[in-house]
Structure 1
Amino acid sequence: MKRIVGAMLFGLGVLLVVAAVGLPLYVAPAVSQLPYDLERSESVAESANAEFLQIKAGAANVERGGLRSTVEVVPQPKITDEKMTGDLEGKTVVWDVFQSVRRIDNNEIISEYSTQLAIDRVSGAAAKWDPAWLEDGTDQPANYAGQVYKFPFGTEKKDYPVYDREIRKTVPAQFKEVTEVRGVQAYRFEQTVPEAQLVLAESNLKLLLARFAPEATTARLMYTNTRSFWVEPVTGSYVDVRDQPRKVLVPDVGQPTVLLNADFRYNEATVIASAERAADNAASIQLVRLWGPITLGVLGLLAIVGGAWLAMRGAGRRAAVEPVEEERAGSHRADEDGKDAEPEAPTADAPTVEAPSADSTERTVPDQRSSAERPAAR
Structure 2
Amino acid sequence: MRTAVVVALLGLGAFAVAAGLVLQLHTYPLLAKLQHNINTTSVSEGEGVTAVVYPPGGVPEIRHGLRVTATTHVEGDLAAPEIKKNGDVTVWKRATIVKEESAKLVLSAEVRRICLDRRTAEAVAPCHGEFYETERGKRITAEGRQLLQPGLNFLFPFDTEQRDYRWYDTVLKKPVDIHFDGEQLLQGLDVYRFVHTVPPTALERLEVPGSLIGRPESSVDVTRYYRVTRTLLVEPTTGAVLSVREDIRQELRTATQGEGEGTAVFNGELRLTNASVTANADEVKKNLPKLFMITTLPVALWVLGAVLVAIGLVLLFLHRRGLVAGALALVAGVCLAGTITYGVTNASSPDSSLDLKNVVSSTNVDYGLR
| TM-score (norm. length: structure 1) | 0.72
Checking the alignment, whether the CA contact within 8 Å between 1:11 and 1:304 is kept in structure 2 is: no
Shift of 1:122: 1.3
Alignment of 1:280-291 (within 5 A): 280-291=286-297
Checking the alignment, whether the CA contact within 8 Å between 2:10 and 2:308 is kept in structure 1 is: no
Distance in 1 between the 2:3 and 2:220 partners?
97
Q: Which has the higher contact order (CA 8 A, sep 6+)?
A: 2
Give structure 1 stretches of 5+ with no counterpart.
317-378
1:24–1:210 Cα change, 3 Å: same
Secondary structure of the 1:263 match is strand
Number of the residue aligned with 2:238 = 235
Task: Give 1 or 2 for the bigger CA radius of gyration.
Answer: 1
1:102–1:252 Cα change, 3 Å: same
Number of the residue aligned with 2:365 = none
Number of the residue aligned with 1:113 = 110
Structure 1 residue corresponding to 2:299, chosen from 285, 293, 302: 293
Identity percentage over the alignment? 24
1:35 aligns with 2:61: no
1:315–1:120 Cα change, 3 Å: closer
Shift of 1:275: 1.6
Paired residue type of 2:157: P
Number of the residue aligned with 1:3 = 3
Number of the residue aligned with 1:189 = 194
Number of the residue aligned with 1:60 = 60
Shift of 1:35: 2.7
Give structure 2 stretches of 5+ with no counterpart.
142-147, 323-370
1:273–1:24 Cα change, 3 Å: same
CA displacement 1:181-208 (0-9 Å, x = unmatched): 11111111111112222236x6xx33x4
RMSD: 2.9
Secondary structure of the 1:47 match is strand
CA displacement 1:205-253 (0-9 Å, x = unmatched): 33x4343333363111111111011111111110111111111111347
Number of the residue aligned with 1:48 = 47
Secondary structure of the 1:217 match is strand
Number of the residue aligned with 2:328 = none
Distance in 2 between the 1:313 and 1:273 partners?
59
Checking the alignment, whether the CA contact within 8 Å between 1:14 and 1:304 is kept in structure 2 is: no
Number of the residue aligned with 1:75 = 76
Number of the residue aligned with 2:19 = 19
Checking the alignment, whether the CA contact within 8 Å between 1:3 and 1:311 is kept in structure 2 is: no
Number of the residue aligned with 2:345 = none
Structure 2 residue corresponding to 1:91, chosen from 88, 92, 102: 88
Structure 1 residue corresponding to 2:135, chosen from 137, 150, 159: 137
Secondary structure of the 1:59 match is coil
Distance in 1 between the 2:185 and 2:197 partners?
22
Number of the residue aligned with 1:214 = 216
- Give the total of aligned pairs: 306
Number of the residue aligned with 2:97 = 100
Distance in 2 between the 1:68 and 1:148 partners?
20
Paired residue type of 1:132: E
Shift of 1:45: 1.0
Paired residue type of 1:120: D
Distance in 2 between the 1:187 and 1:163 partners?
18
Number of the residue aligned with 2:162 = 157
Secondary structure of the 1:214 match is coil
CA displacement 1:94-146 (0-9 Å, x = unmatched): 11101011223343322211111111111112112353111102847463111
Checking the alignment, whether the CA contact within 8 Å between 1:23 and 1:288 is kept in structure 2 is: yes
Distance in 2 between the 1:6 and 1:171 partners?
59
Distance in 2 between the 1:253 and 1:310 partners?
88
